[in-house]
Chains A and B, each alone.
Chain A
Amino acid sequence: MTILEANKPLPRLNLTLERTVLSAFFPMLQKGCLVLCPKPVSVEEFLLALPGASDINLLEKIQTVFVDGHPVDDIKAAILAPDMEVALSAAMPGALGAVMRRGGYYASMRRHITFQAHESRDGQGAFFITVKLFNLLLSQAGPSLLQNGVVLDSNELEELAKPVEAGFVRGDLDGKKFPKEEAAQILESIQGGAIAIFTIQ
C-alpha cells in the first residue's frame, strides 16, 4: 500500500534550510517526487504556478519536457492527469539534446514517441503526479518544486534527516515548532510519510 492509498491525512512538515544542503535532495528529485496538482491543468500552467517560477524564468530554462516518457512539444496542450510522470530538463548537448527539445527543429526525428495531447480538463479535484528534475534544473528549479511541497515516504524522510539537521534554519510539524537538535529525530520518527514544504534560502 502506498502512502497515498493509506487514505489518512498526512502530517505537514515545514522546513527552512540553508542552500548548502540543496544537493542532498538531488537523488530524490532525479528519481521523482510526488507532487499535488490542484486540478487538471496544462504542463505550462503547472510550471508557472510553482513558487518563484517567473522570477527565475523557469519556462525558458526548461528546454525538454517528458510526460510519461513522451517528449512534449506543446506544453500548453499537454494536460496533466492523475498519476502522470513529468520529467524536466534544461538544454542538452548533441544531436539527442536537439532532438528532444520541445518544439525543436529536429522534433520529427523522434515523432514516433512524441506526446500526443488527448487528455481533457474534464476531471475535477486535486490529484498527484510525479515530477522529476534533471541536470541544471536540480539546482535551478529544485527550490521551487520543494517550496511547492512534495510527498515524502518514511524512507525518504530518513535519508534527508542528516542533511536537514545540517542545514536547519527553522521547522515545524503540523504547526508545532522544533529546534535544530530535534530535526533529524523528528524526520526519522515520522511513520507513513508526510507532505513536506521546504524553503531553501
Chain B
Amino acid sequence: MDKILRIDMGAEGGPKLAESPLGEYEGLGGRAMTSAVVLKEVPADCHPLGEENKFVIAPGMLSGTLGAQTGRISVGCKSPLTGGIKEANSGGQAAQVLARLGYAAIILEGKPADGSCYKIVINKDGVSIAEDKSLAGLGNYALVDKVKAEYGDKVATISIGPAGEMKMGAASVAFSDMEMRPTRHAGRGGVGAVMGAKGVKVIVLDDTDMPRRQAKDVEAFKDANKRFVAGLNSHPVTSQGLPAFGTNVLVNVVNEAGGFPTKNFKTGRFEGASKISGETMAEQTASRGGVVTRGCHKGCVIRCSGDYTGPDGKWLTKQPEYETVWAHGANCGIDDLDVIAKLDRIDDDLGLDTIEMGNAIAVAMDAGLAEFGDGEAALKLMDEVAKGTALGRILGAGAGAVGRMYGVENVPVVKNQSLPAYDPRAVQGIGVTYATSTQGGDHTAGYAVATNLMKVGGDVDPLKPEGNVELSRNLQIATASIDATGMCLFIAFAIMDQPETFQALLDMINAHYGYSWTADDWAEFGMQILRNEREFNKAAGFTNLDDRLPKYFKKLPLAPHNITFQVTDAELDSVFNF
C-alpha cells in the first residue's frame, strides 16, 4: 500500500492514469486519507458534481493485513447532500483487495462528458479503463452478475446503481461482500452521485497472486492480532449479541428507552417494535432456512450480518441493519419485516442510502403523499425513484429536499443530512454528536465508545451535567481514529471493557508501521482528522449555526418521556475546542 492511483476522467482523449508514491499522505489510511486529500486538493467552493471535486477511495491503515476486522474502506469527497466534507465508509471485500493490490488510495479527478459509463479493472498486471455503455442503467445486482460472468466470483467490486448515475443526493457506493453481492454501502452524503459525476460505473478489483501486506515486525503483529481476536471472542457483545441478532438487536432497547423515532420523529415508541426486532428477525430467518450469521468481509470474526430469507425460503437481501429497519420501518410506521427487506433490497440495487431514503419517505408521508404504515405505498414511492420520475428525483435528493418541495416544517436533518435512529431528545448526548459532526446527522460519527481507555480528552466525570459535550467530543475523536484504521466500529465495545484488547490494537498498528504510538498519539491522530474536516467545512461556508439540530427538537416534547432537546447552543459551540 505504497502508491496512489489517480485517474483524470476529464483528460483530453479519454481518462488518463497516473501513479505516484504516497508523499505527504504517507502513513494515512481510511478517513485520515480521504479527509486529508479532500482538504488539500478540493476547492471548498467547488460544485460537488463538477470537475474540481475529487472522489477518493481509501482502504484502512491495516486493511490487507492478516489483522481481524480490518475490512473497512472509506470514500471521501465534497458532499452533494451537505455541501461539506464527506467520509462514508463500508465493509465488504474491497478494502482488503485494494490494499493488497498496493493502493492506499484511488482518486478520481476531472469530469468526462455527460453520459459516460466507464469500467475500471485493477489486477496484478495493472490498471485498465474503458467505456462500457452496456452497463449504463443497470442495478447493482445485475451489474455485479455481469462482472461475475466476465471475471469470476473471486473479484471485488465498487459500483454505483442508477441512483448514482442520476446523481441523486442519497446515492450510495456499493461494495461486494464475501458472497459477491452488492450489499455493503458507503451510504451517506450522496457519495454515489460524485462517482456518477466522474462517469465511473464500476471498479473491478482482482488481487489474485498478490501477497498479503506484511508488517514491519511480523511476529509482533501476529501476536497482537491473536490477543486482539481473543479479546473480541471473549466479549459478550462481539462474541454473542451481534452474531446472534445483528445490529437490529437495538430495536427493542431503543424503543423501551423511548428514543425510537417513529412516524417522522413524532414519538419515541413504535407499537410494532417487537414485530421488527432483531430477536424476531433472527427467529424468522432460522425458521425460513436462512443463515443467521455472516461476516461482510474476509477476516471478520464478529459476523454481525446474515441472510434475509423471503417467505418463499429464497435469499432476498442481507439481514437489514438496525438503521435500515428503523428508517423504513418505525419511522414510516411500517411493522412488516418482509416489506422492510424489499425496500432494503431496492436501496441496494438502485444504490441508495437506506437512512436517507427512509427519512425521505417518512417526510413524504408527513406531506400526505402516503399514509404512515402503508408498506405498499412506500414500495411505490421507491418505484418512482427507480424510474427517475420528477417525484422520484425529489425523493432521491433526500429528506431535506422532500421537505422543501412539499412544505413540511419538521424535517429531521442536520447540514441537510437525515438523522439516524436515535431520537436526540431522549439520548441528548447523541444529539450533540448529530448537531456538531463534520458529516451532518450521523450516528457513526460518535460511535467509538472506548474513549475512556483511549484517553481521549483525559478523564471525564460521566455523571456531571456537562458530560454530554465532553463525551460527544471524545467519541468523535476516537471514532475518527478508528475510521482511519480500517477497523470495524464494533470492536469498540470490546476495547472499552478490556484494556488488554485496546493495547492489542495499538500493538497491531505499532508492529505494522514501526510506530511507538501511545493512547495520546492515537487521540491526536483523531483530532487532526477532525481539524482537517472542520477546516474544509469552514472554507465551504459552514459556521457554528450549522452545528444545530432543527429547532423543533427544542420545542416539541417527545413521548413517552415528554422531553425536549436541552443542550444549549453555547454548549454545542464548545464541542470543538481543540
Interface size for B (C-beta < 8 A) is 59
> How distant is B381 from chain A, measured CB to nearest CB, in Å?
28
Q: Which of B236, B256, B279, B433 neighbours the largest number of chain A CB atoms within 10 Å of its CB?
A: B256
Which of A66, A91, A95 lies in contact with B256, CB distance below 8 A? A66
Give the size category of A's interface with B. Answer: 35 or more
Q: B121: CB under 8 A from chain A?
A: no
> How distant is A133 from chain B, measured CB to nearest CB, in Å?
9
- On chain B, the residues within 8 Å of A71 by CB distance are 257
User: Quick check: B429 and A91 within 8 Å, CB to CB?
Assistant: no
- On chain A, the residues within 8 Å of B253 by CB distance are 64, 87, 89, 92, 96-97, 100, 134-135
- In the complex, A134→B244 CA distance in Å? 12
- On chain A, the residues within 8 Å of B433 by CB distance are 95
Tell me which of A108-116, A144-152, A155-163, A173-181 binds B: A108-116
- On chain B, the residues within 8 Å of A135 by CB distance are 241, 244-245, 249, 252-253, 278-279
Q: A94: CB under 8 A from chain B?
A: yes
- On chain B, the residues within 8 Å of A102 by CB distance are none
- On chain B, the residues within 8 Å of A31 by CB distance are 274
Given contacts A66-B256, A71-B257, A92-B241, A110 and B426 within 8 Å (CB-CB): yes
Which of B252, B269, B471, B490 lies in contact with A106, CB distance below 8 A? B471
> How distant is A142 from chain B, measured CB to nearest CB, in Å?
11
For window 81-107 of A, CB contacts with B under 8 Å fall at: 87, 89-100, 104-107
Given contacts A107-B463, A110-B426, A110-B427, A138 and B279 within 8 Å (CB-CB): yes
User: Quick check: B443 and A91 within 8 Å, CB to CB?
Assistant: no
- On chain A, the residues within 8 Å of B430 by CB distance are 95-96, 99, 109
- On chain B, the residues within 8 Å of A110 by CB distance are 257, 259, 426-429
Which of B447, B462, B566 lies in contact with A95, CB distance below 8 A? B447
User: Quick check: B426 and A91 within 8 Å, CB to CB?
Assistant: no
Tell me which of A3-11, A22-30, A191-199 binds B: A22-30
Which of A23, A26, A66, A112 lies in contact with B428, CB distance below 8 A? A112
Q: A69: CB under 8 A from chain B?
A: yes
User: Quick check: A93 and B258 within 8 Å, CB to CB?
Assistant: no
For window 463-496 of B, CB contacts with A under 8 Å fall at: 463-465, 467-468, 471-472, 475, 489-490, 492-493, 496
User: Quick check: B252 and A89 within 8 Å, CB to CB?
Assistant: yes
Which of B256, B283, B489, B566 lies in contact with A112, CB distance below 8 A? B566
- In the complex, A142→B336 CA distance in Å? 26
- In the complex, A187→B154 CA distance in Å? 55
Q: Which of A23, A93, A97, A109 neighbours the largest number of chain B CB atoms within 10 Å of its CB?
A: A93
